Structure 1
Amino acid sequence: MGLCVVAGLFLTGAVLAIVVLRYGFGTGFIELQDAAAYAFAALMALSIPVTLARGGHVRVEVISERLPQAYLRGADAVALVIFLIPVFGLLIRAFWPDLAYSWSIREGSVETGGLGGLYLVKTALPVAAGLTILQGLAQVLRPAPGKDSA
């Protein structure tokens, strides 16, 4: 969660600086624009597992408030095992060749004079997918509230 906070704060400051530089002084700073884009990518990718861990995901069920807690826990477990884990596993598998190529050439910014290290930013996506899978497994394996775990 700390990385998300840092990325969000940096993104806010960077965008403010970009706007002031562009409209106040008529100049641009490609490195700062790349840094803002990198911070945004990290913020979005790493917010997924944090949101899941804090229970902030969106529920589609409109009648869930009337259902027993045991049903909701079971429905969450089924959804995590059937949907979340396979989808994020597929994301890792599908993105891996592009990520490997990006690392092999040490891919940098698409802008001339921009920041290097785009391959590091691209790494955030499969890392976030892996963390989301781990968080989903942790939720499935977590003992039900009120049960004695001894």
Structure 2
Amino acid sequence: MRAIYLTICQALDRITALLCALACLVLTGTILSVVILRFGFDTGFVKLQNLGGYAFAVLAILSLPYCLRRGGHVRVEVFAERMPQGYGRIADIVALFAFVIPVFGLLAWAWLPDLAYSWSIREGAIETGGLGGIYLVKTMVPLAGVLMILQAIAVLLDPRITHLDREEMQQ
């Protein structure tokens, strides 16, 4: 059962990585296009600017579970140098149980009423003539919360994923 769960989380991580890469490409292309159109041709498109903003939002929120899976999250390791070798694993377990799982569970749960309303009205662009579909971008918030919880549990189940233990495994 553990192996199946870790396989599912790895597949979800690959999908997340693909979505992040796609969002990064869209963001780069739209920003480059906006700059060229604005300064080269003295024109612009609000929909194109909105697409860049949507891509940035998707990239920013989906980068969280992507980084957690790879142990790339930010840490403040003031005491880590003086602690025994297994300290990193214990710190990860405490942090994941005490902070990551409850906070992202609350984020996903608290966001659902706003998301349901956004979907019910098919929330469109804020600007006149802008790109619609904000409800699709807002869907990424609880999705990222659920992915964070799933990846946190995967980190708890598979010690090879942790940041500090990765260095120990290479030796």
TM norm structure 2: 0.80
Separation in structure 2 between the aligned mates of residue 108 and residue 15 of structure 1, nearest angstrom? 21
Partner of 2:83: 67
Counterpart of 2:121, as a letter, is I
1:99 aligned onto 2:115: yes
1:34 aligned onto 2:50: yes
Cα RMSD (Å) of the superposition?
A: 1.4
Separation in structure 1 between the aligned mates of residue 47 and residue 73 of structure 2, nearest angstrom? 34
Separation in structure 1 between the aligned mates of residue 68 and residue 157 of structure 2, nearest angstrom? 15
Partner of 2:100: 84
Which stretches of structure 1, 4 residues or more, deviate above 4 A after TM superposition?
A: none
1:12 aligned onto 2:44: no
Partner of 2:11: none
Counterpart of 2:35, as a letter, is V
Separation in structure 2 between the aligned mates of residue 118 and residue 105 of structure 1, nearest angstrom? 11
Percent pairwise identity: 61
From 137, 145, 148, the equivalent of 1:132 is 148
The Cα of 1:65 is off from its aligned counterpart by 3.6
From 117, 126, 129, the equivalent of 1:110 is 126
Contact 2:89 2:159 in 1 (8 A): no
Separation in structure 2 between the aligned mates of residue 42 and residue 143 of structure 1, nearest angstrom? 28
Which structure shows the bigger proportion of residues in helix conformation?
2
Q: Which structure 2 segments of 5+ residues have no match?
A: 1-16, 166-171
Separation in structure 2 between the aligned mates of residue 10 and residue 65 of structure 1, nearest angstrom? 41
From 74, 87, 105, the equivalent of 1:58 is 74
For residues 17-61 of structure 1, the C-alpha deviation after alignment (integer angstroms, 9 at most, x for no partner) is 101111211111111111111100100010000000011011112
The Cα of 1:67 is off from its aligned counterpart by 2.8
From 35, 39, 64, the equivalent of 1:23 is 39
Q: Which structure 1 segments of 5+ residues have no match?
A: 146-150
The Cα of 1:113 is off from its aligned counterpart by 1.6
Partner of 1:148: none
Separation in structure 2 between the aligned mates of residue 2 and residue 65 of structure 1, nearest angstrom? 35
Separation in structure 2 between the aligned mates of residue 96 and residue 112 of structure 1, nearest angstrom? 26
The Cα of 1:114 is off from its aligned counterpart by 1.4
Counterpart of 1:21, as a letter, is L
